[in-house]
Structure 1
Amino acid sequence: MNTSDILTARLRLVAITPELLDAETASYAELAARLGARVPPEWPDSNWEPHVFDFFRKQFAERPETIGWSRYIVLPSPEPVLIGTVGGGPTNAAEAETGYAILKPWQRNGYATEATQTLLQLLFAQGVRSVIAHTFPTMQESIRVMEKCGMRFDGEGAEEGTIRYRITLPSS
């Protein structure tokens, strides 16, 4: 993956890099300046916990090729405001796992679906054959995003109480 911005019909996906992590850690004003976007008071999402930063820093140091894989910040057009994240990472050579989080005021507008569909295309173009995602069965909005992206129920998830969805490219 690369660290270039990815543009969709309505979104700009900005790769999270070590420099962007440093800006986010320093202050939201610095993050906003680096993104050229507003950081709303709802940021960070409840799923964006401090240990995530440590995980990314360690991963970037040990495996620099994962910069750009891990997460993208989601900014809608035309108003540049940080509304969430989408990301994926390899579980093995042929499989990746994806996840997404859109802040509540911007949910139910198709942003998670659009960002995830874009990420799936990138992962498949990189040689990934199958992508999984986990959620809780009570999170119907998340399940709907996965289904809109072509994922299908694939059994119990890795964490207790979760379920897994998967999309696999057909064999050629």
Structure 2
Amino acid sequence: MQILLETERLILRQFTEADADNLFQLDSDREVVKLTTNLGEPTPYSVIKTEFLPEIFQYYEKYNNYGYWGAIEKSNGAFIGWFLLKPIIHASYFNPQFVNANDIELGYRLRKAAWGKGYATEGSKALIKKGFHEGVERIVAVAFAANLASIRVMEKLGLTFQAKVIYEENNQEAVLYSISQSSYKNKISPSLFTSKS
């Protein structure tokens, strides 16, 4: 299994078929999925196996460093959720009115036990740094307007508000935030941008 990157406390690695149970447990927690497109409804195991995992594997076949990555806690080897960094054109909310076709989407979903520990910020910061080191021009992230915790993470990462959008499949209001490579260089310490991953 391929490791994408490591942070001080996390390993981000490729998913395998053996992760079906991990993903099912993650999406079975109504608190975890209440502010996602699931709207609090657990994802059936059959959907994980026949739709979500195959979608994840397609990213690995199509791209070298884009897709979904399992997040592992280094201290105990526990699966705590996932992060994503992928072309925005694959997002269900893609709309050229708000985003560019070459923008890269950032996101995550973590188990409740991992909340409040700074993991969302830590993993996202590492992915942003990696993306910009590899030539990405702009990274965007979307959260439901009610998801104040995720909005705080985006702002902490230096992303700024761009627009309100509506998820057509469930008519939920969301907010779109973004950060460009140039503003990243200005906001983040230059030593962070030039250091090795």
Q: Which residue of 2 aligns with 1:34?
A: none
Residue 91 of structure 1 and its aligned partner are, at CA, apart by 2.4
Q: Which residue of 1 aligns with 2:81?
A: 84
Q: Which amino acid aligns with 1:156?
A: K
Q: 2:71 aligns with which of 62, 74, 80?
A: 74
After superposition, the Cα gap between the structure-2 partners of 1:75 and 1:130, relative to the gap in structure 1 and judged at 3 Å, is: same
Identical amino acids, percent of aligned pairs:
25
Q: 2:26 aligns with which of 34, 39, 43?
A: 43
Structure 2 residue ranges without an equivalent (≥5): 37-41, 90-100, 186-197
Q: Which residue of 1 aligns with 2:152?
A: 144
Note if 1:167 corresponds to 2:179: yes
1:1-172 equivalent positions in 2, closer than 5 A: 3-16=2-15, 20=16, 22-25=17-20, 28=21, 42-44=25-27, 45-46=32-33, 49=43, 51=47, 54=51, 57-58=54-55, 60-61=57-58, 64-66=61-63, 68-91=65-88, 94-157=102-165, 159=167, 160-170=172-182
Structure 1 residue ranges without an equivalent (≥5): 29-38
Q: TM-score, normalised by structure 1?
A: 0.75
SS at match of 1:79: coil
Aligned partners of 2:60 and 2:67 also within 8 Å = no
Quick one: distance in 2 between partners of 1:152 and 1:164? Answer: 8
Q: Which amino acid aligns with 2:131?
A: L
Aligned partners of 2:24 and 2:43 also within 8 Å = no
Quick one: distance in 2 between partners of 1:141 and 1:68? Answer: 27
After superposition, the Cα gap between the structure-2 partners of 1:76 and 1:130, relative to the gap in structure 1 and judged at 3 Å, is: same
Quick one: distance in 1 between partners of 2:136 and 2:147? Answer: 26
Q: Which amino acid aligns with 2:26?
A: W
Residue 87 of structure 1 and its aligned partner are, at CA, apart by 0.7
After superposition, the Cα gap between the structure-2 partners of 1:158 and 1:52, relative to the gap in structure 1 and judged at 3 Å, is: farther
- C-alpha deviations, 1:60-116, integer Å up to 9, x for none? 448723364111111122111111111111126631011111111110110000000
* RMSD across aligned positions (CA): 3.0
Quick one: distance in 2 between partners of 1:138 and 1:62? Answer: 29
SS at match of 2:176: strand
Quick one: distance in 1 between partners of 2:13 and 2:69? Answer: 5
Quick one: distance in 2 between partners of 1:24 and 1:83? Answer: 12
Residue 149 of structure 1 and its aligned partner are, at CA, apart by 1.1
Residue 14 of structure 1 and its aligned partner are, at CA, apart by 1.1
